[in-house]
Amino acid sequence: MNARFTILIILLIAILFGLSQTLFIVTERQRAVLLRFGEVERADIKPGLHFMIPFVNRVRKFDGRLLSLDTNAQEYITSEKKAVVVDSYVMWRIADVQRFYTATSGDELTARRLLTARVDTGLRNQFGDRTLFEVVSGQRDELMQDLTTKIGGITRDELGIEVVDIRVKRINLPQSVSRSVFDRMITERERLARELRAQGLEEAEEIRARADKERQIIEADASREAEVIRGEGDAKAANIYAAAFSRYPEFYQFNRTLNAYVASFANPNDLLVVHPEGEFFRYLK
């Protein structure tokens, strides 16, 4: 009984091993080819459960999802003979499994290396046909779209790879050039700062001159109004004095004579030669 059970177990294991060698599964995220002694027998196998002949067939599976390739920054020359350092990335996926396997032997590292070389050549050509301004801002989107179309056609025919998108992450100047560019930028900003300061000083002088002019005008107007008011006051005072003195002319005469005395004898060193019986001293008698 034990011998039969052991034989049954061994037979079951053998059957399971045979099934594992004849069955394989391709998921929705995979692309696969079936090989017969190293040559492609069936390409682009659909997702599902499939059969193969053990020791004759072999299946190779690849990632069928959208993949990214982050390339190293490279230095390119624009049409103006200016060097720029470009950092880019590529979005790609396997479009033709048989061609991909034939071109790369199914090695993803080989595929990435070949794709990097073709993208590098395409970027070098695109940058060489454009100026620095065009590749930085003016025609950057057009450059990427044109490059994606051209590289995509080449990689599909040669490598079985579909290039979905190529994008430039950064465009920098080489380290040897950056310092001189920064120095020029600093010099330009300092020159602009000096111009702004000079304009500010000029405007300040204009504002100060206008303020001084307005101050002088205000003072002149105030002085003129003050003189007018003072003249009107003096006229009113004179009228009041005249009205008051006209009522008492003798008192007015006496007041004027006293004022004349004060004015005449203000300085003790003055010498006044007058007849003592004259009209001037009549109030001193």
Instruction: Annotate 251-284 with b (16+ C-beta within 10 A) or e (fewer).
Output: eeeeeebeeeeeeeeeeeeeeeeeeeeeeeeeee
The SS3 of residue 21 is helix
Determine the pLDDT at residue 177: 60
Let me know whether 86 and 167 are in one domain. yes
Which of 172, 203, 232 is the last residue before a domain boundary?
A: 172
For the CA atoms of 87, 92, 98, 102, what is the dihedral angle to 10 degrees?
Answer: 10
Let me know whether 131 and 107 are in one domain. yes
Compute CA 151 distance to the chain's CA centroid, rounded to the nearest angstrom. Answer: 32
Determine the pLDDT at residue 207: 92
**Digit-coded pLDDT (tens) for 35-64:** 887 777 787 788 887 777 777 778 888 888
Residue that is written with structure tokens 């109004």 in the block: 225
Tokens standing for 241?
Answer: 């004095």
Residue that is written with structure tokens 């790879």 in the block: 161
Which of 40, 63, 86 is the last residue before a domain boundary?
A: 63
Cα–Cα dist 24/47, whole Å = 10
Determine the pLDDT at residue 129: 83
Q: Which residues contact 1 (CB under 8 A, 6 or more apart)?
A: none
Q: Which residues contact 88 (CB under 8 A, 6 or more apart)?
A: 71, 119, 123, 166, 167, 168, 169
Q: Which of 26, 29, 68 is nearest to 43 (CA)?
A: 26
- Terminal-to-terminal C-alpha distance of the chain: 180
Note down the domain range covering 118.
67-172
Let me know whether 128 and 146 are in one domain. yes
| CATH code of 126's domain | 3.30.479.30
Tokens standing for 42?
Answer: 């069936």
Report yes or no: 26 and 48 within 8 Å, Cβ to Cβ.
yes
Let me know whether 97 and 140 are in one domain. yes
- Alpha carbons within 13 angstroms on the beta-carbon side of residue 81 total 0
Let me know whether 51 and 88 are in one domain. no
Which of 11, 34, 63 is the last residue before a domain boundary?
A: 63
Parts of the chain with a pLDDT under 70: 1-2, 4-5, 7-8, 11-21, 138, 175-182, 272, 274-285
Q: Which residues contact 112 (CB under 8 A, 6 or more apart)?
A: 69
Tokens standing for 103?
Answer: 């071109």
**Digit-coded pLDDT (tens) for 191-225:** 889 999 999 989 999 999 899 989 899 988 898 88
Residue 235 maps to a domain = no
Tokens standing for 50?
Answer: 């499939």
**Tally of residues, the chain:** 285
Residue 78 maps to a domain = yes
